[in-house]
A and B are shown apart, each in its own frame.
Chain A
Amino acid sequence: MTTGSKILSVGHYQPPQVLTNDDLAQIVDTSDEWIRDRVGIVTRRVADNETVADMAAAAAGKALAGSGLTAADIDLVVVATCSSVDRCPNVATRVAARLGIRSPAAYDINTACSGFSYGLATVDHAMRAGAARNAIVVGAEKLTDFTDWTDRSTCVLFGDGAGAAVLTATAAGELPGIGPVLWGSEPDKGDAIVIEGWRPYIQQAGQTVFRWATFALPDLARRACAAAGIEPSELAAFVPHQANLRIIEPLARKLGAPNAVVARDIVESGNTSAASVPMALSKLVERREVPAGAPVLLFAFGGGLTYAGQVVRCP
Chain B
Amino acid sequence: MVRDEITVGLAEILEEVAGVNPDDVAEEKSFTEDLDVDSLSMVEVVVAAEEKFGVKIPDDEVQNLKTVGDAVSYIARANA
Binding site for B on A (CB under 8 A): 37-38, 205-208, 210-211, 214-215, 244, 246
Please state if B40 and A210 are interface contacts (CB–CB under 8 Å): yes
Q: Is the interface of B mostly helix, strand, loop or mixed?
A: helix
Tell me if A207 and B62 are in contact (CB < 8 A). Answer: yes
The docked-state distance in angstroms from the alpha carbon of A285 to that of B47 is 36
Main secondary structure of the interface of A (DSSP, over half): helix
Bound-complex Cα distance A48 to B63 (A): 38
Residues of B within 8 A of A205 (CB): 59
**Min CB–CB distance B46 → chain A (angstroms):** 8
B39 to chain A: closest CB distance in Å?
Answer: 6
Interface string of B62-76 (1 = CB under 8 A from A): 100000000000000
Q: Give min CB distance, A209 to chain B, whole Å.
A: 10
Does B43 sit at the interface, judged by CB under 8 A?
Answer: yes
Interface residue? B34 (CB, 8 A): no
Within the assembled complex, what's the spacing in Å between the Cα atoms of A312 and B60?
38
Separation in Å of the A119 CB from the closest CB of chain B?
Answer: 29
Contact A38 B38 (CB under 8 A): yes
Chain A, residue nearest B39 (CB): A207
Chain A minimum-CB-distance residue to B48: A215
**Closest-CB distance, A38 to chain B (whole angstroms):** 6
Instruction: Provide the bound-state CA to CA distance between A207 and B32, in Å.
Output: 15
Q: Which 10 A-B residue pairs are closest in the complex by CB-CB distance?
A: A211-B43, A208-B59, A207-B43, A210-B43, A215-B47, A210-B40, A246-B40, A207-B39, A207-B59, A38-B40
Residues on A with beta carbons closer than 8 Å to the beta carbon of B40: 38, 206-207, 210, 244, 246
